Amino acid sequence: MKPNRVDHIGIAVNNLDDAIKFYEALGLKCTNIEVVEEQKVKVAFFPCGDADLELLESTTPDGPVAKYIAGNGGKGGIQHIALNVTDIKEAIAYMKDKGLRMIDEEPRYGAGNSSIAFVHPKSTGGVLIELAQRL
């Protein structure tokens, strides 16, 4: 398993509409807005070169993005980095074989029509890393 590239950078935001205005003002274009119920987020994608910016607004006060913002003093920020992989199942098996702890031991749906799995921050030095296979 070798990641192909940075797939996207996940950015937690307090207000998606305000954040979209900012990134549009930078000259980027939003290509997809989607709610992922399972992760309790509303997501907006902004392609930027080889990687996307993934803006994440929590849809509930108890979702992972809401918890990230609470732990960050109420401010948004970079919540995760996603690495693009060719085969998510193979990538998960590889990580487990290396003794790395996965949050997701089975792939699940990710925004932008992808199959994803999160690596546990205990195994990454504190960074939340997502493995993402675009479908």
Judged by the rule CB under 5 A, the positions of this chain that interact with Co ion are 10, 54, 82, 130
30 vs 99, which CB is nearer to Co ion? 30
- Select the residue whose beta carbon is closest to Co ion and give its number: 10
99 vs 126, which CB is nearer to Co ion? 126
Report, in Å, the least distance between residue 32 CB and Co ion. 12
Report, in Å, the least distance between residue 66 CB and Co ion. 16
Report, in Å, the least distance between residue 83 CB and Co ion. 10
First to last CA, the chain: 17
Q: In what order do the strands lie in the sheet with 108-110?
A: 32-36, 41-48, 51-58, 5-12, 77-84, 129-134, 114-119, 108-110
96 vs 131, which CB is nearer to Co ion? 131
Contact 110, 86 (CB under 8 A): no
57 vs 130, which CB is nearer to Co ion? 130
Contact 111, 82 (CB under 8 A): no
Contact 118, 108 (CB under 8 A): no
Report, in Å, the least distance between residue 116 CB and Co ion. 7
Contact 84, 55 (CB under 8 A): no
